[in-house]
Amino acid sequence: MKHAYGYIVHLLCTCTLIICSVLFFVSCKKFITIPPPETQVEGIKVFENDQAAIAAVTGLYSQIMQSNLTLANGAATLYPALSADELYNTAPNVDYDGFRTNQIIADGSGLPRLWSFGYRYSYHANAVIEGLQASPVITDSLRKQLTGEMLLVRAFSHLLLVNFFGDIPLVASTSFQENEALPRTLSAIVFEKIIADLLQAKQLLSEAYPTASRSRPNKWTASSLLARAYLYTGQWALAETEASAIINSGLYSVVPVLNNVFLSNSNEAIWQISSVSQSLNTTEGNIFIPSSATTRPAFAATDQLLTAFEPNDLRKTNWLKAVTISNQPYSYPYKYKVRTGAPPYTEYNIIIRLAEIFLIRAEARTMLNNTSAALQDINIIRSRAGLPPVTAGTNAELLAAIAQERRLEFMFEWGHRWIDLKRTGAIDNVLGPVKAPNWQSTDSLYPIPKYELDTNPFLIQNPGY
Amino acid sequence: MKPTICILAMLCPILSMCQPKPITGQVLNQDNEPIPAATVTLISNKQSTITNNNGIFALNRVEEAGIPSHDSRLLTLDSITISAIGYETVTIAVTQLQTSNSKPQTIILPRKITALDEALIIAYGTTTKRFSTGSVAKLSASEIEKQPVSNPLSTLSGRIPGVIVTQGSGVTGSTVNVQIRGRTSLDLALSKNDPLFIIDGVPFESGNTPVNQLTSAANNPVPTNNSPVSGISPFNTINPQDIESIEVLKDADATAIYGSRGANGVILITTRRGKAGKTKFAISSYTGFSSITRSPSMLSTEQYLQMRREAFANDGNTPTNSTAPDLLLWDTTQYTDFKKKFIGNTGQSSDINASVSGGNAFTRFSIGAGYHRETNVFPGTHSDTRASLRLNIFHTPASKKWDIHLVTIYASEKNRLFRTDLTRHIILPPHLQLFTSAGKYNWQQNGINFSTLGFTNPLAEMERTYNSLNQNLSSNLIINYKITAALVLRVNMGYNTFNTTEQSNTPRTAIAPDNSTLASSLFATSTRSNWIIEPQAEYNAKLAKGKLELLLGTTFQQRNANGMNAAGTGYTNDLLLASLSAAASITASNTFELYKYNALFGRITYNWQQKYLFNFSARRDGSSRFGPGRQFANFGALGLGWIFTTEPWMQNQNILSYGKLRTSYGITGNDQVGDYKYLDLWTNTSNPYQGIPGFRPLALFNPDYNWEKNKKWEAALELAFFNDKLSVSTAYYQHRSSNQLVSYRLPNQTGFATVVKNLPALVQNSGWEFTLQSMLTKKKGLHWKSSFNLTIPSNKLIAFPGLAGSSYNSLYTVGKSLSVVTALKFLGVDPSTGIYTYQDLNNDGALNAADLQNLGHLDPRWYAGWSNTIEFQQWQFDIFCEYRNQRGRNYLATLYNYKPGFLYNQPDFVLNRWYKPGMNSVIQKFTTANSTPAGQAGNRISASDAPYSDASFIRIKNIALAYNFSSTLAEKLKIEAARFFIQAQNFFTITNYKGSDPETQNFLQLPPLKTIVMGCQFTL
């Protein structure tokens, strides 16, 4: 009897175990399968619908403007202006001091603002391009336009990076497995890729801007960046053709009043990017303009820049503002005139404008020995600045005049001065004496951030760091 | 439960004239299992024998002169004693063995209850130290309640071998990190190797992750590379006075049943339960003060100015208004000791706890309530307050067929702080004026805005408030149903929810006038909940000569987390900062997470005659944190034990009262990688662009990551001497973590800096753990209990295929510890030039990556804790010391960027600097710029081994002195008991550490606080 009871217990026990196990294996797989989070969306879904695909593209512009003093939101203006002979910081600051004295520390806080953000833009652009490619449902015209925009942003980001760092890893997909160990690509090949991207973008984009403002690129934006890339690579004829096409499009004009050039409705702008902040219009305006008339500006124009102006150059009085604090005179950048302001914004950050196209064409034409046409182009810019026209001279004189014009027209704009000094080979002669005793010719390239070298053993630091 | 001793004797007929028959019997334990090798002694002539394997003995009484063996008179007066290791000694009169029955006799020995037999709570059950095959350490209420701390994890500090507890910061409510048996994580900033925390059977929802979404003063103001995440600790919602015990499970045997969650060890927290007996009402309360433990003094204005002038002279520069406003423009007669002003105040703590408990054999209850308030050493009255409640009810019917047990704890903690730890501002120049002559916050001095110098006004900074309300509710219901005496069905149902509401206001007064930003407010809420259902079946049986326990169960667990974050900006005045709708513009975001977990687990425990112990546990886990096809994994462990003191050959000695050899091996895992990481996800951008909302890729995703495995092996020897008065145990462990899941560091060229990935690295933590416990009782009521533990850990990266080509190349070296310092060798100051020099390893004239060397590690070399309890009559005195022998980050690790000579104050040991050729000094010559030779040499400090130096310390962690009312006095007062006490935490520290505190190792973060309280406790 007792024996039988024990048997029942054993049986019961075993049954329970079996039932438990069966229940488990039936239910568990279903139990732990979860839907994607409600506040996020799977990548594949983003490209199943035109509106969502547009949001993926505008998302990139929003990301570009999300943090102040990042690559295309102030950093590409401020840091090279300090490295060249345009600006100085008026109070000690470890980050700015490094750039100003050309003693950049590879693990400083400024470099990642340039490098990391450039690649973040590329990733986003690549993700959209891949998404659009894989999606069967996006309207064809929209697919073209969005792909064009993303190719253009990718090229733009590479163009900034290659100018500051020299050879850079060239990233063309979102796969981290492919990208994590990429070494640096020769800058000549990077330029080829930039030009290829821009040519494709030019083909895909239409002449009309996608929205009412010029805050998203059109075909001419691709052309203008192409013109810039051709200029940087010495492809003069191509540069001239692109520049002429933009000028002849009739869409743009040189704004006669200097103080109106950087407004959000500027007709000179080929591509501008609008703020997403609730309190400021442009990072440039925000960091350059001091908070009150008695406050010392954080950054001021160097003596070299101030003495470079010809007399009566309107740009000196309109695009710089002089103040005296504690008996010390300062001139601070004043192209953007709004320090703070909630939307609607009156100023957008101009990435590329018609004045540059004229000066690109002038330089290309000089190189192609078309001096008279070059002179016309220079003088358009000079006359707006209230300066008398330059007259014919040797090619070298003309190039010097163009360099001078570019220096003043594009002061504190996207590192033009720094990049121009480098590409024309004048950098050692110009900055050597100014930045003595710290200047070394290897300073013309910024160091790759230390973190990048640490995480990618295939990256080799620029010489001199 | 009193043992019943049933005696039936079988002896030869007393008056038999034949050969005398032996005295025989069978010795059994309470479970009716034979006790072999028990000693049986006849009292009259000390004649003895031992029991055989069946517990049977036969004692032939030898004749003595003049006394016939069959003398019934004498025989009936005689007695035998039976003793066995681990059992109480029993004495029985021989006559009691008399019986007419011819069956063999049984004598039952009750088990001896010593410290070895105290209940230890383990996964899904209990055991004792005696029979455990795993490594389980326990901290009991008596040790917890003597420590006046608000975070229960702090009470573990130094008390458990193999466990390192580090307070993140001295700020009230900040995180306390717990690491069990070393670091396995290759990236501490992302995974701290947090153990699994289980409170009364329910996984603690937040683990040990900071609960705040908004930045508060509890966060590390200057996070260094690899510094653990800090913030507001979820454990502040657990009242340490509610805890009955904390068990720390370390090895595979103890943790493998937690499968994928057990890799970093498990900490079980059990709250107080009611005991049968008279209803007790207890109330206890204390109050006291806190101040910082340790912080070096800073330069005075005079010394500071001298440093600055000397720096300019060294650089050959003349100070100008723009390079030296502090020398030329500011009032150099001013002096404020900012250290004293910001962190030199006295904090207060007060605590009150009340409880009622009692019950009978069928129903038991315990109800408690507590209130704790602590203020900090910052100026003003910022406080951290906690109100807590707990309820514990147990009931079983008279049949004891089933029982039900409900445990609920609830606490609400309110932390009023501000946004940033003021400690980071103690390096402001000492003559900086924080107030204008009109008594307002100063933001500029002689036209130089603080902001252009990178300063803020710290006192105004405090107006940036941070308030959080954290609420924790944890409830667990256990129902047991006995189908038969052997088979019990059980279900464990738990629910835990943790809600946080935060608000941080930045009024206009906290913003410099030159900054145009308007007032703003940040709001955050998070609701996280976790439910768990664990049906289990437990089966107990006798199998051969042993006891078999089978456990089978399954777990269903789900976690939901919702967060909401809103920022209101553009407030034109400070009146309605708490109102979100008063903001000119609002940006908001919310998050959502779901985690589901399912497991099948089982355990087989077999105890053969209390001699051989066998324990096998296994678990199959399924987790939603892995991509399709990778959701399931198996874990398991085997533990073996041998109590050799129960062997017959160990019976003829009385020194060693207990000895056990045990070993365990098993595999545990880790799935702490965050949810959804295998999915390609996009999210919205924070702001729309031109009115069109945008999407952005959230992160890199990796559909292929897999389970992390941690193989643990341990062997231990446990000994007890002199009736368990002295016990010693030694354990060697070796944990190997492979296929580690990490947020893999990637170069930014991939678009992001990390991705979740398995690393092929193999990390080994091994070490020795020793404990020694002694209990001495002298006459006149003097008791001395002492306990010492020592851990000698070792951490090593055994293998890392592809390290050279990976992003970890610069951080780790195969064969070395994970905390290896790979740096330039710092050679001190060159007496001729006065600047720092470093070893140029390859003599190529340049200092670069080729000159980096492995220069030791930062793991503790050994750590120990020593506690002493001395009781004398009515007095009780406790002292607990913690020792840590380690190398750590000194002040240079946080201050290297602020070089001596810059526009920042310095600790006063920088005065030992170079100022004339030929002199030997520790600090190089002062300089004002990074570009000078001294500045450039100083830039290399962070890449050298100079920021690492000895950070060993001896800390009197806790002192408690108590006076207990004598029972006669208590009786007179008609109370059960009463005591008065003084307690001190972090009382005193001996160290050579260069910096503030050797535990936190961060110069710009508030060091831990020293707290001294006094109070009383009454039981009615």
pLDDT of residue B225: 53
Domain ranges, residue B74: 23-112
**CA nearest to B700 within chain A:** A176
B73 and B139 part of one domain: no
Q: What radius of gyration do chain A's Cα atoms show?
A: 28
**pLDDT at residue B615 above 70?**
yes
- Maximal C-alpha separation, chain A: 124
Whether the CB-CB separation of B714 and B769 falls below 8 Å is answered with: no
Shortest alpha-carbon distance between residue B52 and chain A (Å): 29
* pLDDT(B4) > 70: no
Give the integer Cα–Cα distance in Å for A276 and A281: 8
Same domain (yes/no): B268, B221? yes
List the beta strands (DSSP E) in B142-221: 163-167, 176-180, 196-199, 202-203
Per-residue pLDDT tens over the stretch B399-441: 889 999 999 999 999 999 898 899 989 999 999 999 988 889 9
Domain annotation covers residue B36? yes
What does DSSP say about strands B632-643 and B656-670: parallel, antiparallel, or unpaired? antiparallel
Model confidence over A110-157: pLDDT tens digits? Answer: 899 999 999 999 999 999 999 999 999 999 999 999 999 999 999 999
What is the CATH number for B101? 2.60.40.1120
What pLDDT is attached to residue A22?
Answer: 56
Pairing of strands B106-108, B23-28: parallel
Question: Which of A45-49, A222-226, B1-5 has the highest average model confidence (pLDDT)?
Answer: A222-226
Please write the tens of the pLDDT for every residue from A319-342: 999 999 878 899 999 999 999 888
User: Taking a contact as any Cβ pair under 8 Å apart, which residues of chain B between 282 and 341 contact chain A?
Assistant: 321-323, 329
Percent of chain B, pLDDT > 90? 55
Quickly state the pLDDT bin for A343 (edges 50, 70, 90). confident
Cβ under 8 Å to A: B residues 450-489: 452-454, 483-484, 486-487, 489
Task: Over range A201-226, report the average pLDDT.
Answer: 95
B584 to chain A, any CB pair closer than 8 A? The answer is yes
Amino acid B650: pLDDT:
83
For residues A458 and A181, the answer to whether their CB atoms sit within 8 Å is yes
Domain annotation covers residue A94 = yes
- What is the per-residue pLDDT for B241? 93
Listed by number, the residues of chain B in 402-421 with a beta carbon closer than 8 Å to a beta carbon of chain A are none
Examine residue B620 and state whether it is found in any structural domain, yes or no. no
In terms of domains, do B124 and B249 share one?
yes
Contacts of A290 in chain B (CB under 8 A): 514
Q: What is the pLDDT of residue B5?
A: 37
Q: Quick one: B141 and B247 in the same domain?
A: yes
Contacts of B295 (CB under 8 A, 6+ apart): B339, B343, B426, B996, B997, B1007
Beta carbons of A32 and B598 less than 8 Å apart: yes
From B274, B300, B321, the end of a domain falls on B274
Residue B228 has pLDDT above 70, yes or no: no
pLDDT value of position B9: 37
For a pLDDT cut of 70, what percent of chain B falls above it? 94
pLDDT at B865 over 70: yes
Closest residue in B to A99 (Cα–Cα):
B931
B624 touches chain A (CB under 8 A): yes
Residue A170 lies in a domain: yes
What pLDDT is attached to residue B12?
38
User: Within its chain, how far is the Cα of A248 from the centroid?
Assistant: 26
In chain B the first and final C-alpha atoms are separated, in Å, by 26
- B174 and B39, same structural domain? no
Mean pLDDT of A102-114: 89
- Nearest-Cα distance to chain B for A325, in Å, is 7
Band (B477; pLDDT cuts 50, 70, 90) = very high
- pLDDT band at B980, cuts 50/70/90? very high
Residue A11 has pLDDT above 90, yes or no: no
Q: Looking at per-residue confidence, does A240 or B650 come out higher?
A: A240
- Let me know whether B102 and B126 are in one domain: no
Residue A420 lies in a domain: yes
Is B97 part of a structural domain of the chain? Answer: yes
For residues B117 and B32, is the Cβ–Cβ distance under 8 A? Answer: no
Interface test with B, best of A70, A274, A278 (most B CBs within 10 A): A278
The pLDDT of residue A16 is 62
pLDDT band at B137 (very low <50, low <70, confident <90, very high): very high
Kindly state whether residue A1 falls inside one of the protein's structural domains: no
Least CB–CB distance from A9: residue in B487, B747, B942: B487
Residue B221 in any domain: the answer is yes
Mean pLDDT, residues B136-163 taken together = 93
Q: Measure the CA–CA gap between B548 and B539, rounded to whole angstroms.
A: 8
Range with the poorest average pLDDT among B104-118, B156-170, B457-471, B699-713: B104-118
> Scanning the structure block, which residue is given the tokens 């997403």?
A276
Q: What percent of chain A has pLDDT above 90? A: 78
| Domain-embedded: residue A3 | no
Q: Is residue B989 part of a domain?
A: no
Q: State the pLDDT confidence band at A19, using cuts at 50, 70 and 90.
A: low
- Buried/exposed code over B36-66 (b: 16+ C-beta within 10 A; e: otherwise): bbbbbbbebeebebbbbeebbbebebeeeee
Distance CA A62, CA B690 (A): 9
- Is residue A32 a part of any domain in this protein? no
A 396-435 → B contacts, CB under 8 A:
none
> How many domains are contained in chain A?
1
Q: A435 to chain B: nearest residue by CA? A: B931
In this structure, the answer to whether residues B87 and B130 fall within a common structural domain is: no
pLDDT of residue B13: 38
Would you call A65 an interface residue with chain B, using a CB distance cutoff of 8 Å? yes
How confident is the model over B711-733, as a mean pLDDT? 93
Q: Say if residue B18's pLDDT is above 50.
A: no
The per-residue pLDDT of chain A, averaged, comes to: 91
Q: Between chains, do A124 and B751 touch, taking CB under 8 Å as contact?
A: yes
Residues B80 and B228 in one domain: no
Please indicate, yes or no, whether residues B77 and B169 belong to a single structural domain of this protein.
no
| Interchain proximity B694–A36, CB inside 8 Å | no
Rounded average pLDDT over A248-267 = 95
Tens-digit pLDDT profile for residues B101-122: 556 678 888 877 777 888 889 9
Mean of the per-residue pLDDT values for chain B?
A: 88
B500 pLDDT band (50/70/90 cuts)?
A: very high
Q: B237 with B127, same domain?
A: yes
- And the tokens for B270? 């059990």
Task: CATH number of the domain at B172, please.
Answer: 2.170.130.10
CATH of the domain at A363: 1.25.40.390
The pLDDT of residue B381 is 84
Q: Does any CB of chain B come closer than 8 Å to the CB of residue A22?
A: no
* A279–B569 C-beta distance less than 8 A: yes
Residue B262 lies in a domain: yes
pLDDT in tens, B545-564: 888 999 999 999 999 999 99
For the segment B6-32, the average pLDDT, to the nearest whole number, is: 58
Nearest CA in chain B to A105: B939
Question: Does B902 sit within 8 Å of A92, measured CB to CB?
Answer: yes
Cis preceding linkage at A447, omega within 30: no
Among the ranges given (A142-156, B19-33, B162-176, B368-382), the one the predictor scored with the smallest mean pLDDT: B19-33
Question: Is residue B569 within 8 angstroms of chain A, CB to CB?
Answer: yes
Q: What is the pLDDT of residue B665?
A: 96
Is residue B851 a part of any domain in this protein? no
Q: Does B397 touch chain A (CB under 8 A)?
A: no
Quote the number of domains for chain B: 2
Average pLDDT over residues B58-62: 73
Which of B689, B701, B932 should one mutate to test binding to chain A, selecting the residue with the greatest count of A CBs within 10 A?
B689
Neighbours of B1000 (CB within 10 A): 26
pLDDT band at residue B17 using 50, 70 and 90 as cut-offs: very low
Residues B140 and B39 in one domain: no
Is residue B175 located within the same domain as residue B244?
A: yes
Q: Which residue, chain included where needed, has tokens 């999606």?
A: A135
> Omega of the bond prior to A80 within 30 degrees of 0, cis?
no
Q: Specify the range with the lowest mean pLDDT, choosing from A52-61, B37-46, B626-635.
A: B37-46
Q: Is B306 helix (H, G, I), strand (E, B) or coil?
A: helix
A422-460 residue pLDDT tens: 999 999 999 999 998 889 999 999 999 998 998 898 999
Window from A437-451, B276-290, B643-657 with minimum mean pLDDT: B643-657
Read off the pLDDT of each residue in B930-948 and give the average, rounded to a whole number. 88
Helices then strands, each counted (H, E), chain B: 10, 50
pLDDT of residue A10: 61
Tell whether B313 is covered by a domain.
no
CB contact under 8 A, A107 and B693: no
Judge whether A154 lies within some domain. yes
Q: Do A37 and B902 touch (CB under 8 A)?
A: no
Quick one: residue B1000, left, alpha or beta (phi over 0 = left, psi -120 to 50 = alpha)? Answer: alpha
Provide the number of CB pairs (under 8 Å) joining chain A to chain B: 294
Q: Domain of residue A394: give its range.
A: 43-277+346-444
Of B516, B690, B810, the CB nearest to A291: B516
The DSSP letter of residue B59 is E
Whether A11 is covered by a domain: the verdict is no
